[in-house]
Amino acid sequence: MSDAGGLGFLAAAYLKAADVESRLLAARRVTSRPLGVNVFAPGAGPSDAAGYAAYVERLRGWAQHVGAPVGEPRWDDDDWDAKIELLSRAAVEVVSFTFGCPSSELIARLRAGGLEVWITVTGPEEARRATQAGADVLVVQGAEAGGHRASFIDRPDLAAYGLLPLLDLVRTATTLPLVASGGIATGRALAGVLAAGAVAAQIGSAFMLAPEAGTGAAHRRALRSAGETVLTRAFTGRLARGIRNEFIDAHDASAPIAYPEIHYLTASLRKQAREAGDPRWINLWAGEAHELARERPASEIVRELTADARAALEAAHRMPWMAERSPGPPPA
Amino acid sequence: MSDAGGLGFLAAAYLKAADVESRLLAARRVTSRPLGVNVFAPGAGPSDAAGYAAYVERLRGWAQHVGAPVGEPRWDDDDWDAKIELLSRAAVEVVSFTFGCPSSELIARLRAGGLEVWITVTGPEEARRATQAGADVLVVQGAEAGGHRASFIDRPDLAAYGLLPLLDLVRTATTLPLVASGGIATGRALAGVLAAGAVAAQIGSAFMLAPEAGTGAAHRRALRSAGETVLTRAFTGRLARGIRNEFIDAHDASAPIAYPEIHYLTASLRKQAREAGDPRWINLWAGEAHELARERPASEIVRELTADARAALEAAHRMPWMAERSPGPPPA
């Protein structure tokens, strides 16, 4: 994929730093091209237990009824310090952050070590803060994206902007290069975000049927379907987009904001469902265009997306309207 | 605006056919270019009163408390037959439908009279139906759009796709020309949807600060703000995007699906608030990019959008990556 023109990212979330390191080494063995690592920034600290106790009770009762295992809610910082230490010495070119913006001191330290620092944003105010903190690049995540919303804080009233207006609104807050993300599964959509001013696109669901992807069998079946996606906190206590299933229908309305506590509460039941190939209780993360994902090697997907994007931009550039003389200044 | 390259549409909703006709004649006096009319397709019939009785009671109590007038909920078909009769003989080139797809017989009749028939769709299944019914063009409305969602039926579980993935999903269902709509307020975004395969864009909020627009003073002030928008049924009983205000905060969670009954229930209180310049109870319809709207004559907005879109497509076309040789066929 990297050799085809993509920039591959290693997902470091839910891994110990030592595991991130061994995966990075494995990735280094298959490509000499630049690599990125994506890291979840930890929140301010544990959620108030009173805010999620009822949901824990609810899921325990439900799990007993359906015979699924639930775990203990708990907070952790996802091995933050050790991951930062690893990044400052590892053979990696780019780090992208999700769920928050590290301090300007930390960003400066990573940049001093030669890393390019990308911050994921979901609105213009986050873009302003990431720019002030010293980011090199902003990943602009539209509401169309699969998986977790990258917002600095999960709030019930946070606007979930669509990608195209979000690129425009973020542009009013920063002059940094923008990487567009969310619902991009075709070369046409890639051409669209490039024409709208992004320098690149971050693409997830469109790679999830590749043989190289770690997508489980039940998740693959769901991605191929025309199943509609929804934003839900039911699985992890943080807003994320996935294909609607029985777990979401049963619990979405009751789910609190409490990440990663609810993630740990449901991790074992999701694991069991994945192993059983049972889509009802899996977090079937998927972006809005998931049904356009193709079963191809990742390198072919990259080549096809770029060739199609090139053709789409050529076609737009050839429109008769493009050849018209620019209008003069408006009448005074 | 039409002389600058736009295709102006007359909003025929909530007007008697005779009023549509006089406005069309007025529009004809200012331009000889093609004109369109947008018509709301009537639903299947009145909503079940039991489904909205509690909301009527709630709003009556609230209105009495705050001293605002409420009306009687009622159903009507928005003068459908007379409007269709008018369209079949009026000097107009395009009719676009919202809230549903007319029968193939009706579409054939309008097309036989020389009209181009556009149907607004919000998902691939609606696109399939509109194509089968004989539409000439589909208006593809993303979730970013201000005002009412154009869905054929308002359902609580209907997916609200972002514009870019929606264009791709609709493309799997039809070969008709697509007009992109929702959150397009800059030339960059216009370039984006054209590169993504749309033949044109339908733009609303970006014109709402033009001196020619019928936007009231309080609505203009709200559009200039960075106020976040939400989808709500509180004002009309049908999902629509507007800038969050006190009315939405107070009533959104209780609002039923009952259009146009709830529209008529709240029409008088919204009118009073508009006349008083009080933004708290006005339906401040706005798309997600409303704060990018500019205070300019409509013709200048059209010229600026097209010039900026042209520049954005030129810039995308000049990217070094575009000049790279197309990749060969993938390895066998």
Pairing of strands B229-232, B240-243: antiparallel
Residues B110 and B173 in one domain: yes
Q: Which candidate from B144, B168, B326 shows the least CB-CB separation from A165? A: B144
CA-nearest residue to A325 within chain B is B307
Q: If DSSP states are collapsed to H, E and C, what string results for A229-269?
A: EEEECCCCCCCEEEECCHHHHHHHHHCCCCCCHHHHHHHHH
pLDDT digits (tens, 9 = 90+) for B44-75: 899 999 999 999 999 999 999 999 999 999 99
Q: Is residue A326 part of a domain?
A: no
Residues of chain B in contact with residue A228, where contact means CB-CB under 8 angstroms, are: 157, 159
**Residues of B whose CB is below 8 A from A243:** none
Residue B115 lies in a domain: yes
Asked whether residue B89 falls in the same domain as residue B163, the answer is yes
A150 vs chain B: nearest CA distance in angstroms? Answer: 17
Residues of B in contact with A287 (CB under 8 A): 165
Do the domain assignments include residue B319?
no
Q: How far is A172 from chain B (nearest CA, A)?
A: 9
pLDDT digits (tens, 9 = 90+) for B147-180: 999 999 999 999 999 999 999 999 999 999 999 9
Q: Are B280 and B138 contained in the same domain?
A: no
Same domain, B255 and B309: no
Amino acid A59 reads: L
Residue A266: give its domain's CATH number: 3.20.20.70
Greatest alpha-carbon pair distance for chain B in Å reads 75
Question: Which residues in chain B touch residue A191, judged by CB atoms under 8 angstroms apart?
Answer: 195-196, 316
The tokens for A265 are 């509460």
pLDDT, mean over chain B = 95
Residues B71 and B81 in one domain: no
Model-level pTM greater than 0.90?
yes
pLDDT of residue B331: 41
User: Both B121 and B167 in a single domain?
Assistant: yes
pLDDT at B325: 56
Instruction: Enter the tokens of residue B234.
Output: 């509180």
Residue B327 placed within a domain: no
**ipTM at complex level:** 0.95
Q: Do B291 and A195 touch (CB under 8 A)?
A: no
CB B188 within 8 A of CB B206: no
Are residues B35 and B151 located together in one domain of the fold?
A: yes
Residue of B nearest to A156 (CA): B230
Residue by residue, DSSP assigns B199-230 as: SEEE--GGGTTSTTS---HHHHHHHHS-PPEE
pLDDT at position A325, please?
55
Across the interface, whether the CB atoms of A307 and B317 are under 8 A apart is answered no
Mean pLDDT of B3-19: 94
What does the pLDDT profile of chain A (332 residues) look like in tens digits? 788 889 999 999 999 999 999 999 999 999 999 999 999 999 889 999 999 999 999 999 999 999 999 999 999 999 999 999 999 999 899 999 999 999 999 999 999 999 999 999 999 999 999 999 999 999 999 999 999 999 999 999 899 999 999 999 999 999 999 999 999 999 999 999 999 999 999 999 999 999 999 999 999 999 999 989 999 999 999 999 999 999 999 999 999 999 999 999 999 999 999 999 999 999 999 999 999 999 999 999 999 999 999 999 999 999 998 887 554 444 43
List C-alpha distances in Å: A10 to A23, A138, B279, B312: 8, 18, 48, 32
Q: What pLDDT is recorded for position A324? A: 77
Q: Closest partner residue to A162 among B142, B196, B228, by Cβ?
A: B142
Q: How far is B75 from B258, CA to CA, in rounded Å?
A: 9
**Nearest-CA distance B92 → chain A (Å):** 23
Residues B163 and B118 in one domain: yes
Which chain B residues are within 8 Å of A297, Cβ to Cβ? 330
CB contact under 8 A, A310 and B326: yes
The partner residues of A200 in beta bridges, in order of sequence, read A179
pLDDT, tens digit, 9 for 90 and up, residues B168-224: 999 999 999 999 999 999 999 999 999 999 999 999 999 999 999 999 999 999 999
Structure tokens at B225: 């703000």
The pair of three-digit structure tokens given for residue B246, joined into one six-digit string: 């006190």
Q: What is the pLDDT of residue B6?
A: 93
Cα atoms in the Cβ-side hemisphere of radius 13 Å centred on B138: 33
Q: Quick one: average pLDDT of B28-37? A: 95
Chain A closest CA to B13's CA: distance in Å? Answer: 27
Could you tell me if residue A61 is inside a domain?
yes
Name the residue among B157, B161, B313 with its Cβ closest to that of A288. Answer: B161
Tell me which residue in A164, A165, A310 faces B322 most closely, judged by beta carbons. Answer: A310
What token pair was written down for A140? 């602009």
Predicted confidence at residue B324, as pLDDT, reads: 77
The number of domains in chain A is: 1
Alpha-helical runs (H) found in chain B: 17-30, 49-66, 80-87, 104-112, 124-133, 163-171, 187-195, 217-224, 246-251, 261-276, 298-317
The answer to whether B288 contacts A4, with C-beta atoms less than 8 Å apart, is no
Residue B4's pLDDT is what? Answer: 84
Tell me whether residues A289 and B168 touch, CB distance under 8 A.
Answer: yes
The nearest CA of chain B is from the CA of A308 a distance in Å of 10
The confidence score (pLDDT) of residue A1 equals 77
Shortest Cα distance, chain B CAs vs residue A86, angstroms: 33
Asked if A326 lies within 8 A of B312 by C-beta distance, the reply is: no
Structural domain range at position A218 = 8-296
Q: Say if A323 falls within a structural domain.
A: no
C-alpha distance from B255 to closest chain A C-alpha (Å): 17
At B330 the pLDDT is: 42
Question: Contacts of residue B195 in chain A, CB cutoff 8 Å?
Answer: 188, 191-192, 194-196, 312-313, 316
Residue of chain A minimizing CA distance to B227: A159
How far is C-alpha A29 from the geometric centre of its chain's CA atoms? Answer: 25
B124 plus B6 within the same structural domain: yes
Cα nearest neighbour of B143 on chain A: A162
> What does the pLDDT look like over B247-262, one tens digit per residue?
999 999 999 999 999 9
CA B51 to chain centre: 26
Tokens of B148: 């009412």
Q: Round to whole Å and give the CA distance between B41 and A106.
A: 57
Q: What percent of chain B has pLDDT over 90?
A: 92
Same domain, residue pair B90 and B138: yes
Is there a single domain that holds both residue B90 and residue B67? Answer: no
String of DSSP letters for A285-303? B--TTGGG---S-HHHHHH
Chain A residues within an 8 Å CB radius of B194: 195, 316, 319
For residues B145 and B278, membership in a common domain is answered with no
